[in-house]
Amino acid sequence: MLVLIDGAVQGDALAIAQAAKALRYPVVEVPATQQPLPIDGGAFQWGFVFGGEPSLTRYQSLHSQAKEKNVALLNDVAQHAQARESDALAPLLEMNGQPLRRLEHLTRTWRLFVLDADVLAMGFVGAPSDVFGPLSEREQRELSELAHRAALATRVPWLAVDAAQLENGEWRVLETHAPGNCALGAIDPAHFVASLARALDMRGGC
């Protein structure tokens, strides 16, 4: 598994890079203005991009260059664009007039990273831990099922899903993201990298 850090190596991008290196996965830092991609070709490997907020044109360039080096990014260009669209998610977004559960300025929102419709990692957004208390087993199942449905609806293999709890206890999708362009929240970077690597080992090559 190859980790491409796009743009400035700071914040979560730095944490991901350090975790990947500690776990002995290759990391390539790609300054926003750098061309071509500084990697050598070789045996097939999966790759993912993390950091920055690349335009579709930028992602297309990274994707095509990686492909030339026998590196397959987890989403193709169309899937990268679709990850940020919500048209297919309408049934999962409907709140039926219910307000979001809040504590002062925070809503109870969790971010889930999903590969091939399976949740690899999840964490609270907005604070180091869930200020509303730990998730129950039922809530974990509900969140995982919601993220699974979002992945199937969007048809995007590598997806980040934000879900929030309503005052009545139900969960709804707020939005989806390209995983490389959003914060980890309370997710441990080492857990994120290790979980993705295990899933890709099971997925195999193409």
pLDDT digits (tens, 9 = 90+) for 68-124: 999 999 999 999 999 988 776 776 777 778 899 999 889 999 999 999 999 999 999
φ/ψ of 26, rounded to 5, equals: -65, 140
Going by the DSSP 8-state scheme, the letter that residue 43 receives in this structure is S
141, amino acid identity:
R
Instruction: Find the angle CA(119)-CA(125)-CA(130) to the nearest 5 degrees.
Output: 95
Q: Is the pLDDT of residue 64 over 70?
A: yes
How many helices, marked H, and strands, marked E, lie in the chain? 6, 10
Residues 6+ apart with CB under 8 A from 9: 17, 29, 51
Reference 123, options 145, 143, 100, 103; nearest CA is: 143
Residues 6+ apart with CB under 8 A from 147: 112, 114, 119, 122, 159, 161, 163
The tens digit of pLDDT for each residue in 176-203 reads: 999 998 899 999 999 999 999 999 999 8
- Pull the structure tokens for residue 164: 């929030």
φ/ψ of 81, rounded to 5, equals: -70, -40
Q: Output the pLDDT for position 97.
A: 81
Reference 181, options 27, 48, 42, 20; nearest CA is: 48
- Averaged confidence pLDDT in the chain: 91
Q: Could you tell me the pTM of the whole model?
A: 0.93
Reference 178, options 198, 193, 157; nearest CA is: 157
Q: Output the pLDDT for position 189.
A: 97
Q: Output the pLDDT for position 205.
A: 63
Do 119 and 160 meet the contact criterion of CB atoms below 8 Å apart?
no
For helices 189-203 and 11-22, give the axis angle rounded to 10 degrees: 60
